[in-house]
């Protein structure tokens, strides 16, 4: 059985949980509360050299890291209930949305940014300000991108990883800071439809055993 | 007449450099279209039509399809032009190669992107950009050095050039050139980098080999 190291408030963990659920794969869950720096142990460093979440350890003890890479592995190894189109151009389209969220929205939520700014400036910003800036900018971009491709989901009526990544990003930002994403009608339509999928709903941070408000 | 591949790139952009390397490795010819990030011709309407987020790189295919996001672009190229393969076939190996790329793509490069530097400048004018980026990069380079201990040969993964090398070389170069990274502190990465940088496909993709180099 796989072991997933993650945390309730980690959108990256939520992405992997969603795909594990969707492919009916069982796993043990080990919670590492990053607000308490529980991932900053030597033991976890052996699993993930950068000590970030999530990691997925296989039964054979292979350490898989980085949510996009983990999810691609699950898609490669378990073709059932696929979330990635086979056609190279469609596959590219799905990946470009996932990569955008993974590298142009989520990383900019890291507390090191607002901590650094506040150490350098009299004008202070809050972590919420920082999340707001990057989420609004990024979600607007995605909203524009999917205008011409969406049906129920980002790409027609077929659920893909793009929907998983979009859902996890919106859900985690909303759970934490209650941002109003309603102006982004395309994205919020996808979110509403994706939430009807039980495996997506079940992977939400609020249902995780380690969730605290 | 067949349209050529068009690459919208900035000479110093490490994300553009990744795609330039991959195109060279795949022996794909392309037209180079320079986008000036600093002078803001990137902001021009023309480029906005191509890439609404106004970032580089963009790759325009022969049929006019526009590709963005360097990781997604290179994976697409690997699918449709499989030789030479930049990603292994085995799922576990693929996951390791992809993980290395993502450690850079989402774990390192975002902190040196012009957008974040401008945002910090707007709130904390005159802050030390190099210090800001160096702190983040140092932690990540240490992690990369640890990661490659179990994967490297001449290159990041054994003796075969892979997409991981397309990500490593530009990140090392920008780290050394702009953010005071001392490669001597990462001897394995240094050895891999030295094996890669003079390969023609990598050399030709360097910032100082591009038409818009200043």
Give the residues across from B133 on adjacent strands: none
Strands B30-34 and A63-65: unpaired
Q: What is the pTM of this model?
A: 0.96
The mean pLDDT of chain B is: 93
Please check whether residue B63 touches A, CB under 8 A: no
> Are the CB atoms for B205 and B181 separated by under 8 Å?
no
Q: What confidence category does residue B156 fall into, taking pLDDT thresholds of 50, 70 and 90?
A: very high
The tens digit of pLDDT for each residue in A79-138 reads 999 999 999 999 999 999 999 999 999 999 998 898 999 998 888 999 999 999 999 999
Mean of pLDDT values over B175-191: 97
Instruction: Give the residue from B106, B119, B136, B145 with the most A CB atoms within 10 Å of its CB, the best one to mutate.
Output: B106
Query: How much is the pLDDT for A55?
Result: 98
Measure Cα distances from B131 to A15, A139, A188, B61, B134 in Å: 33, 30, 39, 39, 5
Chain A neighbours among B 127-156 (CB < 8 Å)? 127, 132, 135-136, 139-140, 142-144, 146-147
Do B106 and A64 make contact, defined as CB atoms within 8 angstroms?
A: no
Do B99 and A69 make contact, defined as CB atoms within 8 angstroms?
A: yes
Nearest Cβ partner for A66 among B73, B98, B139 = B98
Query: How much is the pLDDT for A123?
Result: 86
The tens digit of pLDDT for each residue in A29-69 reads 999 998 899 999 999 999 999 999 999 999 999 999 999 99
Query: How much is the pLDDT for B2?
Result: 61
Q: What confidence category does residue B40 fall into, taking pLDDT thresholds of 50, 70 and 90?
A: low
The tens digit of pLDDT for each residue in B185-194 reads 999 999 999 9
> Are the CB atoms for A15 and A71 separated by under 8 Å?
yes
Is it the case that residue B51 has pLDDT exceeding 80?
Answer: no
Is it the case that residue B41 has pLDDT exceeding 70?
Answer: no
> Are the CB atoms for B156 and B190 separated by under 8 Å?
no
> Are the CB atoms for B163 and B73 separated by under 8 Å?
no
Query: How much is the pLDDT for B115?
Result: 86
Please check whether residue A206 touches B, CB under 8 A: no
C-alpha–C-alpha distance, residues B176 and B174, integer Å: 5
Query: How much is the pLDDT for B157?
Result: 98
| Two structure tokens written together for B14 | 């490490």
Nearest Cβ partner for A69 among B53, B80, B95 = B95
């Amino acid at each position: 059985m796989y072991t997933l190291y993650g945390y309730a408030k980690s959108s990256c963990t939520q992405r992997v949980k969603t795909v594990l659920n969707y492919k009916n794969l069982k796993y043990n869950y080990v919670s590492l509360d990053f607000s308490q720096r529980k991932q900053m142990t030597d033991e976890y460093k052996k699993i993930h050299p950068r000590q970030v979440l999530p990691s997925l350890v296989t039964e054979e003890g292979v350490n898989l890291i980085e949510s996009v890479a983990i999810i691609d592995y699950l898609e490669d190894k378990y073709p059932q209930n696929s979330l990635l189109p086979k056609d190279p151009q469609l596959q590219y389209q799905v990946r470009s949305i996932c990569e955008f969220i993974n590298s142009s929205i989520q990383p900019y939520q890291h507390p090191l940014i607002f901590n650094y700014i506040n150490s350098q400036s009299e004008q202070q910003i809050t972590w919420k300000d920082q999340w707001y800036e990057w989420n609004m900018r990024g979600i607007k971009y995605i909203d524009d991108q999917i205008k011409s491709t969406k049906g129920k989901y980002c790409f027609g009526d077929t659920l893909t990883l793009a929907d998983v990544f979009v859902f996890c990003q919106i859900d985690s930002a909303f759970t934490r800071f209650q941002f109003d994403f309603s102006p982004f009608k395309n994205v919020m339509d996808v979110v509403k439809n994706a939430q009807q999928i039980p495996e997506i709903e079940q992977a939400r941070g609020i249902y995780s055993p380690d969730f605290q408000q | 007449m067949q349209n050529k591949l068009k690459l919208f790139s900035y000479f110093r952009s490490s994300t553009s450099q990744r795609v330039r390397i991959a195109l060279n490795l795949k022996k794909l010819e392309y037209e180079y279209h320079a986008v000036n990030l600093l002078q803001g011709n990137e902001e021009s309407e023309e480029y906005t039509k191509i890439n609404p987020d106004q970032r580089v790189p963009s790759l325009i295919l022969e049929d006019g399809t526009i590709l963005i996001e360097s990781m997604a672009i290179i994976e697409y190229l690997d699918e449709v032009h499989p030789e030479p393969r930049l990603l292994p076939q085995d799922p576990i190996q693929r996951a390791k190669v992809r993980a290395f790329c993502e450690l850079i793509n989402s774990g390192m490069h975002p902190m040196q992107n012009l957008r974040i530097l401008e945002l910090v400048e707007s709130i904390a004018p005159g802050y030390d950009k190099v210090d800001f980026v160096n702190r983040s990069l140092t932690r990540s380079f240490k992690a990369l050095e640890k990661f490659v201990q179990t994967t490297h040969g001449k290159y990041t993964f054994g003796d075969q050039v892979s997409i991981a090398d397309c990500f490593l070389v530009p990140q090392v170069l920008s780290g050394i050139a702009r953010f005071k990274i001392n490669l001597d502190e990462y001897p394995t990465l240094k050895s891999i980098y030295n094996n890669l940088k003079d390969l023609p496909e990598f050399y030709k993709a360097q910032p100082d080999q591009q038409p818009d180099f200043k």
